[in-house]
Amino acid sequence: MALSTEESGRLAALLGEQDERVTTRWTEIVTSSLRGRLSQAELRRQVQDLHRAIVTTSEQGVIDLSADSAAELRAALSELSRGRARQGFSATETTISIFALKDVLAELVQEAGGPNALHDYVAFSKLVDEMGLFTFESFVRTRESLIADQAEQLLELSTPVVKLWEGVVAVPLVGTLDSARAQVVMERLLQTLVDTSSPYAIIDITGVPAVDTQVAQHILKTVVAARLMGADCIISGIRPQIAQTIVALGIEFGDIATKASLADALRHVLRLTGVETARRQPRRGI
């Protein structure tokens, strides 16, 4: 759907000759659609950037948005959509900024007249459509990465590993545990064991409403991995429903220590370490 050399030449002439008027009119149309949420000056600068990109690209001859020669134009478009996505504009508000060029072109073509007017307008507006779609797509991409970043931040926030006592760390798990979060918790906990040189970890699941097979597996794997590293895990706060699920699912907790509450778990660990200081280190094997 590329513009031919003659067509792009005429487009360059049309837009280039009256650049002041084009950008002013374009800015006007966009301003009304954005209802003043972006300053006139900023908008004008964006429109000028786009205008310049289109003119330089069309002066080079054939316009094909996917071609190498249109790299500058593509960059200008993604720049615009990235900015809008981050500022919280909707997809419509963003793409309208591009489609507004159609109205400007319609006016210009009509004024210029000539035998090719209709033909040119159709070709130009196809290009604008393409640009609009491109903008829309990069808008969506930016939004997606924003969402992914936020999800990650949320994960970070929701999985604190706290030091409970000398040599004892705890992870109080709150909320639904999905596979991704369980994995983050697991890595975080194991790293904390290394960083604090703590041989004991308590995983408290009082705040976890439900446990499915996958999550239970993740917890089990964490315990086994911790043992491989030379640390012991105690699981506390297993609620009656969860205990029932664990048994119903046939998940083997094996010889993993489980305690009713975080306090019980801490007492258990302190007794182990207390024996350690009074008499000797317990033998730990896998």
Cβ atoms of 212 and 177 within 8 Å: the answer is no
Q: Which of 36, 113, 254, 285 binds another protein (CB under 8 A)?
A: 285
Report the alpha-carbon distance of residue 26 to residue 128 in Å, rounded: 13
Cβ atoms of 88 and 35 within 8 Å: the answer is no
Question: Does 227 interact with another protein (rule: CB under 8 A)?
Answer: yes
Question: Does 231 interact with another protein (rule: CB under 8 A)?
Answer: yes
| 3-state secondary structure (DSSP) of residue 3 | strand
For residue 76, give the nearest of 46, 36, 101, 55 by alpha carbon: 46
Question: Does 182 interact with another protein (rule: CB under 8 A)?
Answer: no
**Strands, E, within 63-174: which ranges?**
162-165, 168-174
Q: Which of 198, 208, 215, 233 binds another protein (CB under 8 A)?
A: 198
Question: Does 37 interact with another protein (rule: CB under 8 A)?
Answer: no
Question: Does 229 interact with another protein (rule: CB under 8 A)?
Answer: yes
Cβ atoms of 248 and 282 within 8 Å: the answer is no
Q: Which of 1, 118, 228, 260 binds another protein (CB under 8 A)?
A: 228
User: Which part of the chain contacts another protein (CB under 8 A), choosing from 33-41, 77-85, 183-191, 206-214?
Assistant: 183-191
Instruction: Select 106 or 194, whichever has its Cβ closest to another protein.
Output: 194
**Least separation, in Å, of the C-beta of 151 and another protein?**
11
**Least separation, in Å, of the C-beta of 14 and another protein?**
36
Please list the helix, strand and coil fractions of the chain in percent, rounded to the nearest 5, in that order: 70, 10, 20
**Least separation, in Å, of the C-beta of 123 and another protein?**
30
**Least separation, in Å, of the C-beta of 246 and another protein?**
19
Q: Which of 224, 243, 260, 275 binds another protein (CB under 8 A)?
A: 224
Place of tokens 């073509």: 109
Cβ atoms of 211 and 178 within 8 Å: the answer is no
**Least separation, in Å, of the C-beta of 27 and another protein?**
35
**91-112 and 40-59 helices, crossing angle to 10°:** 60
Instruction: Select 107 or 156, whichever has its Cβ closest to another protein.
Output: 156
Amino acid at 238: I
Instruction: Select 51 or 218, whichever has its Cβ closest to another protein.
Output: 218
Q: Count CA atoms within 13 Å of residue 141 on its CB side.
A: 12
The residue ranges that bind another protein (CB under 8 A) are 183, 186-187, 190-191, 193-194, 197-199, 221, 224-231, 280-286
